Amino acid sequence: QVHLVESGGGSVQAGGSLRLSCDYSGWIYSGYCMAWFRQGPGNEREGVASIDSDGRARYVDSVKGRFTITLDRAKGTLLLQMNILKPEDSGMYFCAVDDYPVCDRALRTGGVDFVHWGRGTRVTVSS
């Protein structure tokens, strides 16, 4: 059974930084796509960043240059370093994992292809 638990959310002022962690277990396949999604109040879920089993990282345009996604397979942890945070980055952040092929469109489709999700961690950025 796949299990994902996010942590690291909190409240920060604009321009600040946070690092989100997603501890995962139970994914037994060599191919994978792991991703971060977020959902702000009244908004649809959107893709933020993804990383696949080839090591390719992808980002939504709004976070390029500010966010970095990394994966520590030895520790079973997916990280999202978020710098220069803006109020529009606020929301509930979720990590998800699924098969490698979904990475190609994961950030454009809001994660509809993902079956395995964590419960989320909240990020609040004040101006």
- The single-letter DSSP state of residue 84 is S
pLDDT digits (tens, 9 = 90+) for 3-17: 999 999 999 999 999
* Beta carbons of 2 and 24 less than 8 angstroms apart: yes
- Integer angstrom CA distances of residue 26 from 1, 35, 88, 97, 115: 5, 16, 33, 10, 13
pLDDT digits (tens, 9 = 90+) for 21-71: 999 999 988 899 999 999 998 999 999 999 999 999 999 999 999 999 999
- The single-letter DSSP state of residue 19 is E
Q: What is the pLDDT at residue 29?
A: 86
